[in-house]
Amino acid sequence: MVETLEPLNGMPLTANLKAHYERTADLLHSNRGLVAHPPLISQYPLDAYNKVDGLSLLRSTMSACIPLVIFDPQYRHNLDHLKYGNEGARQKGRAKYPQQGNEEIVAMGAQIERILMPSGYVMLWCDMYIHVTGASLKFFPNLTPVCDVIWDKGAIGMGYRTRRRCERAVFFQKPPIGARAAKLAVRWKTQPTIPDVWLEKITDKIHAHQKPQGLQQAVIEAITEPGQVVVDPVAGSFSVMAAAHACGRRFLGCDILGSPAEQAEHLKQLESA
């Protein structure tokens, strides 16, 4: 039985969820005096667990104002393509979350292209299937793929021919393209200290698709300035918000199911139905 602690908005929290909320609150509080107060860029509040679909949040955001979007779609065609990952078989946890078809992801990609400032970046999370089929190129036809990072999860997963141990983050850049040229609106400021294979094991998991906070924080620090806004339109565990707050950046993001606590309640209701 999972231990539950004091409720948040009437919902009981597991130990991992309670720790997540406490860390996020502490990080935001400690950075309040450091971060800038950007102009109104969206109808949705910054640094909040916005409960709305990602396309609506992106459409409400001003054009050419965001240096970095971290995008982790819930790929519907993964479950369609891979029988071992479909509903009723393995990956049951994944199948409980709302999935996104290619049409929706392409629509979100167009909005992401619009809100990026010149030379801004998208960090797109994808698995082996998305990567090797080149499907990610269809999501951002007006951006240029510039590099990728392999995330080594430190644990063996499932697979069809080989067992999965990693996921990939592919980086796309809006023109003008470059890494450190002073004329660019967004520069990759650090020397190449982010390795192309990043080992990070998640030990306090609160979401089936939780991504590594350490890698995302390193990317945020490399691409953005303190006080700038990082966007995540499919936030899931809101690990991007925690990473942004840890280095003095603001966060604009959402999940269609709401906060991690609301997502946990949604899953609980599905299991009891």
Q: Which residues contact 174 (CB under 8 A, 6 or more apart)?
A: 113, 116, 117, 118, 119, 120, 121, 142, 143
pLDDT at 190: 76
* Residue 117 backbone phi and psi in degrees, to 5: -75, 165
* Fold for the domain defined by 15-236: Rossmann fold (3.40.50)
Distances (CA, A) of 62 to 20, 41, 229, 236, 243: 30, 5, 12, 23, 23
Reply yes or no on whether the pLDDT at 86 is more than 70: no
pLDDT of residue 136: 83
What is the per-residue burial (b if ≥16 Cβ within 10 Å, else e) of 34-45? ebeeeeebbebe
- The pLDDT of residue 6 is 37
In this predicted model, what pLDDT tens digit does every residue of 139-182 receive, in sequence order?
999 999 999 999 999 988 777 678 888 899 999 999 999 887 87
How many Å is the maximal CA-CA distance in the chain? 57
pLDDT 10s digits, 19-46: 554 555 555 545 544 445 566 799 999 9
Please tell me which residue, 90 or 26, carries the higher pLDDT value.
26
Cα separations in angstroms, 97 against 74, 92, 207, 268: 8, 9, 10, 12
pTM: 0.80
- Given a cut of 60, whether residue 80 has pLDDT beyond it is no
For the stretch 95-153, pLDDT in tens is: 555 566 788 999 999 999 999 999 999 999 988 777 888 888 899 999 999 999 999 99
Average pLDDT, rounded, for the chain: 79
